[in-house]
Structures are given as structure tokens and as C-alpha cells.
Structure 1
Amino acid sequence: MNVQIVLFDGFDLLDVIAPYEVFNAAGMYSNEDIIVKLVSAEGERMVMSGVNQLQLQASGKIDLSSKGIILVPGASGSVDDNEPDSIPVRIKQATETELSNVLKEAIRKPDILLSTVCGGSLLLAMDGLLEGRHAVTHHLGMGLLQATNTFPVHARVVDDGDLITGGGVTSGLDVALYLVERELGPRIAHAVEKLFEYERRGTVWKAEGNAPKESKHENPMEATSSRSSNQTDKSFNFQGKWETTISTPIGDLSVLLNLSSEDGRIAGIAKQGEDIVTLNNIVQEGNQLKWSMKVKKPIRLSLKFIVSVDGNNMYGEAKAGMLPSSKLIGHRIS
């Protein structure tokens, strides 16, 4: 069995080291050769982690012709501040390297089982690779996972067929042990658990068996829209074309908004480059407008907006999951 653990600048050490030790320990108990390598998209090099600039050696380039497991870790850094060393920025930077193209090809190969730990699933999601898939990440990133049109599952490990994802940082142990069980059997996985004096937590989620009954929760945005009937206030003049800029922590978005009202119903579209999308769930509350919108750049996200209008000026914010709120400013051009 071949296991390739991916390194990229800013990776989290525990996301890498925990699975590395599990797979190597499994090799001691298995009659099958288990080859575990630390690799990068660029090839052999020293790769800087996000923990105190500690480096690990990538022994070579990711080999997509090698049947087996590719495991993608998350990043380490600030979780609160909009800074260059924040986790969302480091993950986004990784998507701007050759790693992005490699993972896009890897996820299409039937002989490769792609797996992630913690923010590794966000790295895939930011490239649009998890749309319509079930996955998990660190609890702080679940909102962002959903904003990329992934189905977030609150489980320690999620098995979505040819994609295995893990939750927070220590889930690297659980992901690796589950992969050992799935590929080599439960007896070897149990032997490694005994050696490490560690027991996996929780149930591995799969889209199998009977679905549990779900409570009927009202969508707050839709509920507000229904109650307000989307009626406009004539004193609140938002109609027209607006040039806006959204300052996100991973790049500025230039978006042209076109807002209108007909028979008291608000409608709107947004143009970003050549992409035109409809504004969804538009709600007016006093002198504010709220809506949701999908964007493709700088990453694929579903953003939620709250804006106010002062004359010909617009200001507000957009929000997506764990990412900090992004300021929106704009002016009416017609």
C-alpha cells in the first residue's frame, strides 16, 4: 500500500505526523508492504510548516500514477486575525500553487483514495472540488465548508466513498486508523490502537443505512422574506447600478450590482467579470438589504450580504463561514 502525505507551505505539523506514525506502525503488523512518503507538488524540497517555521523534507513529487492513498493536511496559523499568516490565507495560497492542479487530477483517478485532515478539506473545497460531496473539517471551518456548496457533516470522520475527511487537528489519528481498517482490516487497526494506547472517537459517517428523522427548522432568511413579503420602503432608494468592491482576506472582489423593484418586489443580479448571478433571498429590513450570492473568485463561495445605502454610496459586509466579515463599499453609477 502506498501512502503519500502532502506538504505545502504553512501545513499543520500534527495533521502530518499523526497519520505518518499510524501508517508506519501499521506496516509493522501487516504482511503487505506499506510505503509512506512525505511529498510536495513541486518535488523534493524542505517545506516550511505553519508551526514556528519548523520544516520537513519532502522526498519527492506527488505521484499520481501510484495507486493508493493521498492525504492532504490542513494549515496552521491565526484563526482570528485577518493577517498573512491566518489559516484561510495559507490555505488559499496553497490553492494558487501547482498543488491545485495535482489535486484536481487526483480526485478523478479511481485508483487514488483522497483523504484530508482538518483544513485539508477546505483546500479542496476552495477549488470547487467538494461541491455536492459530504465532508467535515475543523469546527471553525464548517460554515466555510457549507459556503463552498459542500454538505458539512458533524462527525469525526466522514467516508464519502473515494473521499475520506477528518475533523479537527487530532482527527489525523482517527482518519489514519480508519484508513488502515478500511484498507488492511480491523485487526491491524486494533493492533495499532493498542500500540498507541488510543481509541478512535465517534462513528464514521457514511451515506448508508436509514436516514434519521430531522426536525423541521425554518430557514431564517426565507422566513424573514416570507414575513416581510419583500416589500420596499420608498424612502430607501437602493435601485440602480452599483460598482462595489468587497475586501476579503484572500483578495478584493469587484462586483457590479443591478438592483430593481417591481410591484414592491426586489430583484437583483451581480456581475463579476464575465460571470452573472442572481441575488437570492433578498430581504429589506428598514434601510438595509440582505441577500446571498455565489461567487467563483477568488474562490468558490456562497456569501451572505448586509448593506446600507446613504445617497449614492453603499456600504456593508459579506460573510462566509469562518472567514472574517469582508467590507463592502460602492457607489451608484446609474
Structure 2
Amino acid sequence: MARSIHDLTTPALLIDTTAFEANLAAMDAVLPGEALRPHVKATKSTALARHLAAGGHHGFCAATPREIEGLVAAGLTDDLLLANETLDTARLGALADRANITVAVDSDETIAAASTGGVRSVLIDVNVGLPRCGCDPADAPRLGEAARSAGLEVRGVMGYEGHLMMVADRTERVERTAEAMNLLLAAAAEVGGDVVSGGGTGTFDVNTHCTEIQAGSYALMDTDYAKLDLPFSKALSVLATVVSVSAKGWIIADAGLKAFGMDHGNPSWDDGEVFFCSDEHITLLPNTFESWRVGDRVRLWSAHVDPTVARHERFQLVNGDQVVDTWEIDLRHW
């Protein structure tokens, strides 16, 4: 039987099922099946991943060995990509007989770690402009040969244009994505293999250069991505309870810094402004102060979905004010 959100202990992480399903449909209209490799770093839930698999997406992307281990334990083993470099490869090699696992490498050291750890397949990670991982494009062919010499299958290349995800102007986003992907495609031509993996929610429909797109935030969304011209709406919110009402015109609810990823700024609120957050509280300036009482509930929108999800233990799926299901967030930690 459905419960009311008013019965939940707060702070609680909510998924609006109507917005969520609309987001999945919008993505599937552009990237059906294997064209999308959903990135579980955003959602961190095997229940949510199973829902995507039922919709035709059987390859998943992960950021940590823990996420790979959880996907394998859940039986989602068809095609898993650890899209990060790691030296903790023995954990992945231990799963090699149970799942098809590919690991990103960008150096002789990460190639050696993959080989000695029992990993069987790799992608050469090429830096396409983001100041993070990835080899120099000119070094990709050599690394491809080094990986093959180490006994690894080189399935292709990957490159993440993360520095372009939030480019506001669509024309500029198209042009700069093409420039970044030209670096990746040139490397792919030299490295070989069938896979050219990249992209994300911000470039999912302008990156037409990859064989697969690594998007994750689209399913739940946040206020940062909502600023772009994307066909997705905010499905994720944090439910909080008003615990104090000040005569000075503000209200205080029980969701603070520990309930949100704050690296992209404060959460937002439809019924007023967010004044500031402290460890366990959020101070709100309501548009209409007189109507608020202790015990009232507020829904708050996160500015960055990934670290917000990682702070909670479960999703409450809601239709209006009714809780219709609960999904554990079981891929947290490392």
C-alpha cells in the first residue's frame, strides 16, 4: 500500500516517477539500446540500473570498483565499463569469469595494473580537454600496442569532454564538442577497436561522434543541468521538515550540508529563497511567510545530483504525495 510522504523520516530523497519516466523516454528517443551506456555514478542504485536494463540498456558505466562489484552481484554483467583509471584491479580481475568488464587505462602503469590484476579488456583513455585523466592523444597508439603486448584486449578508446557539459550556448557546445571528439576519433583510427566511448548528459544529443554515450544525470537531473536546453526535467528532490519558524521572517528545515552535494552551490526552493545551509539545517526565506508552521514539509532541488545521491541510503519513489516504491542506494562508497 502506498504511503504518504508525510510519513517519511526526513531528510528523505525523492524521485518523482512522472518526471523520471519522462526523462528516460526522452533519452531513449535519441539514444536507444546500446547507443547509451548509463553511468551509475550519478544514481548509485542497482534497482534503478535494473529498471534501465528492462528498457533495453544492458551496458553500464561505473566510476569505482565498488560500483562494478555491486552491478555484478545484481546480475548486471553483460558489458561493464570502469571509466576511471585504477590500481585496485585485483577486485575487478576476481570478477572476470562472472562479467564482461572493461577498464580505462591511460599510462604504462595502469596498463600493468590491469594486466597483473586479471583484467582482460581495456579502453585507451584519451584526454580531449578536461584537466583530468586521459593520455595525450599522440601517445594513444603506443599505449594501445603496449596493452596488447601485455595480453589485454583493446576494445577501443574513450574520452570525456566534461569541460563542455555546462556550455550554455548550444552552437558553441556543438562546435567545441566536435573539436574535442576529433581528437578522440584521430586516436581511435590509430588505436583500433570498435568502441569510441564518451559524452554525458550535457552533450548527449550533440556528440554524434561516439559509438556510445556515457550519461547518467539525465535520469534524475539537478538545477545546474536544468539551466541547459535539454529535454529533461528535475525528478530528484530532498524532502525536509520545518523544525522552526522565526518571527524575523525565515523558516528552518532539517536538511543541511550533509543532505546535499554543495560543490555547485546551494539547493533551490520553489516557494522562496535559500538563505544558507549549515550542517543539519537549511534556512529559507518563503515568499509568503505567514502560512508556514512547524511540521510542514518542503521539497528542495539539488544543484548537483551525483554527490547528493551518495549522501543518502535510499530513494523514495513518489507519485504526487504518495510513496509508491523504495529503491536502495546500494552502490555508494569505494
Common fold: TM-score over 0.5: no
TM-score (norm 2): 0.26
Q: Which structure shows the higher strand fraction?
A: 1
Higher relative contact order (CA 8 A, sep 6+): 2
Based on CA coordinates, which of the two structures has the bigger radius of gyration? 1
Q: Which structure shows the higher helix fraction?
A: 2
